[in-house]
Amino acid sequence: MSKILVADDASFMRLMIRQILARQGQTDILEAENGRVAVEFFRQHKPDLTLLDITMPELDGLATLTEILTMEPSAKVIMCSAVAQEQIVQEALSRGAVDFVVKPFRPNELMQAVSKYLV
* β-sheet with 99-102: strand ranges across: 28-32, 3-7, 49-52, 77-81, 99-102
- Alpha-carbon distances, residue 86 vs 55, 66, 71 (angstroms): 15, 19, 27
Report whether 64 contacts 41 (CB < 8 A).
Answer: no
Domain ranges within the chain, ordered by starting residue: 3-117
Domain 3-117, second-level architecture:
3-Layer(aba) Sandwich (3.40)
> Mind listing the pLDDT tens digit of every residue in the chain (119 residues)?
799 999 999 999 999 999 999 999 999 999 999 999 999 999 999 999 999 999 999 999 999 999 999 999 999 999 998 877 888 889 999 999 999 999 999 999 999 999 999 86
Q: What is the spatial distance between Cα 101 and Cα 118, in angstroms, rounded to a whole number?
A: 16
Report how far residue 73's alpha carbon sits from residue 31's, in angstroms, rounded to the nearest whole number.
Answer: 21
